[in-house]
Amino acid sequence: MVKHNFYAGPSILPREVIESTADAVLNFNDSGLSVLEISHRSKDFQAVMDEARSLFHELLSIPENYTVLLLGGGASMEFCRVPFNFLKTKAAYLDTGTWAHKAIQEAAAFGEVDVIGSSKDQKYKCLPKGYVIPADADYLHYTTNNTVYGTEFLEDIESPIPLIADMSSDIFSRPIDVSKYICIYGGAQKNLAPSGLSFIIVRNDALGKMQRHIPTILDYKVHVDKESMFHTPPALPIYSALQTLRWIKKEGGVKVMQDRAIERAELLYNEIERNAMFEGTVVKEDRSRMNICFVFKPEYVELEKEFLDFTLAKGIVGIKGHRTTGGFRASCYNAMPISGVQVLVDAMKEFEQKHVK
């Protein structure tokens, strides 16, 4: 049966990315060797690293004075590396839920952390509004897409101080103005590659300004100077990332990814609003295009398990909501075709016909 993969992460990748990765595991570049067993210093792997980093620049229009790093870790690793490298005395953070909160907790060990806005009191069903960005902070950190709660900043924040963003779950889903940021980072496993990999886009001149000792492996400058090859990188996820980047380019780039994201989100949110049994959990203007959260109206909540079984029988996988929020979450990353969302919408309609009171 065809599967429709709505997992939040690790998550759907284009089928051809998975196939070319599988091919390279068996026989990389017709070398008779697997990508799993070649030196990361070999010419063939160096070419993978170089092309992946240069496609980042091309697809996101990253200016020349920035460096793209592909390092082992994941977004949680960068929650720590970011303040190590950028927090001198004070940083401003926006609290928009689970991941933002973890970034805040990590930064608090490095200096003053000013949480200038939080939607905690609204149970993170919206983004913080009306916050004031302090001019004396080293940076403003925010999470562009809140994977757990389903809210998203659909545009770069206007800020008088440099921005740093966790873009784990919406990177490559819209054009961004990289020049507003000194650092953009994320775990690769939402929209790019298998897990184990961090991507970091860093402005070169923002580095090397710390008084504190930074352990070598945590020092972005070391990785910049070594062009992301300071030590053995996670070769297989980087190989897959390259396949995804080529796929995005072939499909027409991030603007096309954005158009598709808008189309998918409209289709599903419209059905959530129309359907008499469901309701969305996020205020309309802050709804994520990547992670679409919804619940049964109170009179139908006892049907949750039945709905999950019903949709599973149609090949729909991964729509159970996060354990902190309950309900449902359909993650619609770049690789999700509109036809997959249509299958979910049709299932919601059919379920309504059977069960609506």
Ligand X SMILES: *Cc1c(COP(=O)(O)O)cnc(C)c1O
Q: Of residues 20, 21, 147, 258, which one binds ligand X by CB under 6 A?
A: 147
Q: Of residues 76, 159, 204, 342, which one binds ligand X by CB under 6 A?
A: 76
Residue 164 binds ligand X (CB under 6 A): no
Residue 151 binds ligand X (CB under 6 A): no
Residues contacting 243, CB < 8 A, separation 6+ = 14, 16, 17, 20, 21
Binding string, 247-276, against ligand X, x = CB under 6 A? ------------------------------
Residues that bind ligand X (rule: CB under 6 A) add up to a total of 12
Name the minimum Å distance from CB 13 to ligand X.
15
Active centre residues (catalytic)? 99, 166, 190
Between 338-355 and 304-312, two packed helices, what is the crossing angle to 10 degrees? 130
Residue 9 binds ligand X (CB under 6 A): yes
Q: Which of 138, 165, 173 is nearest to 336 (CA)?
A: 173
Binding string, 168-197, against ligand X, x = CB under 6 A? xx-----------------x--x-------
Could you give the CA distance from residue 35 to residue 23 in angstroms, rounded to a whole number? 9
Task: Considering the complex, state which of residue 5 and residue 168 has its C-beta at the smaller distance from ligand X.
Answer: 168
Q: Of residues 12, 35, 59, 75, which one binds ligand X by CB under 6 A?
A: 75
Q: Please say whether the beta carbons of 164 and 143 come within 8 A.
A: no
Phi and psi for 140 in degrees, rounded to 5?
-110, 125
Name the minimum Å distance from CB 108 to ligand X.
17
Name the minimum Å distance from CB 349 to ligand X.
30
Residue 166 binds ligand X (CB under 6 A): yes
Residues contacting 124, CB < 8 A, separation 6+ = 96, 97, 146, 148, 149, 151
Total length of the chain? 357
Task: Considering the complex, state which of residue 106 and residue 271 has its C-beta at the smaller distance from ligand X.
Answer: 106
Q: Which stretch binds ligand X (CB under 6 A): 16-24, 33-41, 73-81, 323-331?
A: 73-81
Could you give the CA distance from residue 93 to residue 21 in angstroms, rounded to a whole number? 38
Name the minimum Å distance from CB 121 to ligand X.
21
Name the minimum Å distance from CB 187 to ligand X.
3
> Which stretches of the chain bind ligand X, using CB under 6 A?
9, 74-76, 99, 143, 147, 166, 168-169, 187, 190
